Structure 1
Amino acid sequence: MNRETPDAVLFNPQVVVEPGDHRDFYDEFPEVRRRMAEASDVLGVDLAARFYAEDPAAINDGTVVRPASVAIAVAICDVIGLRERPPRYMAGLSLGSIVAAHLGGFMSFRDTIRMVSTMPAVEDRVVAGRPLGVAFYYNVDLDRFQAEMREVSTAESPLLTCAITADNQMIATGAVAGLQELNLRAASIGGVGLVIPYGPPAHSPLPVLYDIKETFAREWSYLDPTSDPQVPQLCNHTGAVIDRREDLMAAFVEQYTRTVRWDLVVRRLADLGVKQVTVVGPGHFVYRSMQFVDVSYQVQTVLTCAELRSAAE
């Protein structure tokens, strides 16, 4: 990362994982094995064994895929020496915002792993038995598509915007049947829609998400001290810069019922003078979405083993 200009490091959301994905990181880099082992100790399970298993549904259970993804992302940053050369800003999309908060100095690795395991456990408990999910839409005119979404949505089965990820991309959340109908609407206007496998409802004012938010707020507590972040964070749902621990604490609760505006985060970084960004894996979502926001950056990616080797040199 070039220290002559302001820079930022960005982290990916939870993405669907197929058996064998990211195994190369684990096999090649001791830092990944170490972080997986630390996460396993926190959770009291063999996280690597669960994450590198053969059953896609088990791998993509939130209590597995989220802490494993966090462990890999943090290990990648260990390898590239991010703590020794911190950027000016950090941000992440959904799960990535929690990774950013840890690496920015807000909370311990132990509490980070606990948080990303507690969240899906609460979500699963509250949502159990309800046919709710999320779907990704791209190559759509957002205003027109959201009008289509309002037509499909009903009071009994609302569909709401979960995240706006780029100028022509968004994620919707709500009843799976409604999302499937919305997929057809997307195709009719030249777009593409895909219900995301294993995806829970998220980031919107769905009534069930208020229940999840209240339950999480009531049950969650930090075991280790928290601090004002040493690296300022960008808020997922406002794009605002956060440099106080109290604001980060509130953001992780409020994000349940607030639409993620990743497009605002990407533009806000440019407003702050950022010209170079590093996108850290696992996953390619953030890098790909940035290509559809009308802001230009010099982008370094650390998404593969080859890129990690190069970045570590």
Structure 2
Amino acid sequence: MSCWLVFPGQGAQKPGMLHGLADEPLVRESIAEASAVLGEDVMQLDSAAALASTRAVQLCLLVAGVACARLLLQQAPAPAYVAGLSIGAYPAAVVAGALSFADALKLVSLRAELMQQAWPHGYGMTALIGLEPARVEALLAQVHSAATPVYLANINADNQVVIAGSDAAMADVVDRARSAGVVVGKRLAVSVPSHCPLLESAARLLAAAFEQVNVRAPQLGYLSSSRARPLYSGESIRDELAFNMCRIVDWRATLQGAYERGVRLQIELPPGQVLTGLARRVFSQGTTLCFEGTRLDTLVSLMQREGLRHL
């Protein structure tokens, strides 16, 4: 039995997310470090107005994840694995020791700018709940064209996927999905078409920047959410981080892979509880908790217990 830490992706952000973090020295130090590296006050990035920017969202998710993981691991034993959905892969890589926090901040700032510049208007992502991936792919084939691009982006659960593409194409898919019996079609708070070929050119530019950065072999188990398997080398993690913006996220398979490797305790780092909800069916014989809303000493105790079982 073991534990893993998971980090959410874009769409989990909320106004005030940095201001709501615990007032602890490690958290304050992480925020100060981020501000120094970026040359700006990161506490100004979590207002409702600022979070309209992809860059602000992604940086806030990175800072919140790293700061809270540092606070948790100051007292708790190291988890067996870490993983992150989309931008969440970056704080996961920092916590695993594969990437420095300073390098992650610079790369995420660039990543977000490249993504926003690639498709500044008229594109995004939509969640579909109620249809299995194969049926959604059939609907996408009916709608996709050069003028109305739309792709499968995330497989979150057996009946929950996310699509990415143009506004018109996504609206068409949602209409068809509702006719096919989909329960929910919800536009996400993401202004770019992530995890599809529309971002391949941006990913290649980011990969060029990654060539100047030292990415190391992880000190913890690092699960790729696009490949749904562990990555062991700095080079494989470099590729994962640079190109995950244009690759499908298979979180369903990543969850299953963690469970099959003996993980029975999942802790979701801030913000929110999206990944906790997705894990409950897979972790029916385990425990899934959010950092937010759970006492720190409770999380530490549970991680210590799972750590002893793992020995």
Whether these two folds match at TM > 0.5 is yes
Match of 2:205 in 1: 215
Match of 1:205 in 2: 197
Q: Is the 8 A contact 2:4 2:263 kept in 1?
A: yes
1:81/1:295 CA distance change after superposition, 3 Å: closer
Q: TM-score, normalised by structure 1?
A: 0.87
1:306/1:9 CA distance change after superposition, 3 Å: closer
1:237/1:306 CA distance change after superposition, 3 Å: closer
Distance in 2 (CA, whole Å) between partners of 1:305 and 1:192 is 27
Q: How high is the sequence identity, in percent, across the aligned residues?
A: 24
Q: Is the 8 A contact 2:86 2:245 kept in 1?
A: no
Q: Is the 8 A contact 2:215 2:237 kept in 1?
A: no
Q: Deviations over 1:32-80 (max 9, x none)?
A: 33212211111111110232x342xx22412212122211111211222
Ranges in structure 1 where 5+ consecutive residues have no aligned partner: none
Match of 1:75 in 2: 67
Match of 1:38 in 2: 33
Q: Is the 8 A contact 1:92 1:236 kept in 2?
A: yes
1:190/1:11 CA distance change after superposition, 3 Å: same
Deviation at 1:256, TM superposition (A): 2.8
Helix, strand or coil at the partner of 2:295: helix
Q: Residue 208 of structure 2 aligns to which amino acid in structure 1?
A: R
Q: TM-score, normalised by structure 2?
A: 0.88
Match of 2:269 in 1: 280
Distance in 1 (CA, whole Å) between partners of 2:200 and 2:99 is 25
Helix, strand or coil at the partner of 1:283: coil
Match of 1:99 in 2: 91
Q: Is the 8 A contact 1:25 1:305 kept in 2?
A: no
Match of 1:179 in 2: 170
Match of 1:119 in 2: 111
**2:284 is the counterpart of 1:296:** yes
Helix, strand or coil at the partner of 1:25: coil
Distance in 2 (CA, whole Å) between partners of 1:135 and 1:250 is 26
Matches within 5 A, 1:152-167: 152-167=143-158
Match of 1:144 in 2: 135
Q: Is the 8 A contact 1:14 1:94 kept in 2?
A: yes
RMSD: 2.2
Distance in 2 (CA, whole Å) between partners of 1:80 and 1:194 is 33
Q: Is the 8 A contact 1:160 1:174 kept in 2?
A: yes
Match of 1:131 in 2: 122
Helix, strand or coil at the partner of 1:115: helix
Q: Residue 148 of structure 2 aligns to which amino acid in structure 1?
A: S
Ranges in structure 2 where 5+ consecutive residues have no aligned partner: 302-311
Distance in 2 (CA, whole Å) between partners of 1:43 and 1:134 is 28
Q: Residue 9 of structure 1 aligns to which amino acid in structure 2?
A: L
**2:235 is the counterpart of 1:246:** yes
Deviation at 1:236, TM superposition (A): 1.5
Distance in 1 (CA, whole Å) between partners of 2:86 and 2:263 is 21
Match of 2:188 in 1: 196
Q: Residue 178 of structure 2 aligns to which amino acid in structure 1?
A: A
Helix, strand or coil at the partner of 1:154: coil
Q: Residue 41 of structure 1 aligns to which amino acid in structure 2?
A: A
Helix, strand or coil at the partner of 1:136: strand
Q: Residue 250 of structure 1 aligns to which amino acid in structure 2?
A: D
- In the comparison of the two structures, how many residue pairs are matched? 300
Distance in 2 (CA, whole Å) between partners of 1:299 and 1:222 is 40
Q: Is the 8 A contact 1:276 1:297 kept in 2?
A: no
**2:10 is the counterpart of 1:10:** no
Helix, strand or coil at the partner of 1:199: coil
Match of 2:304 in 1: none
Match of 2:305 in 1: none
1:20/1:256 CA distance change after superposition, 3 Å: closer
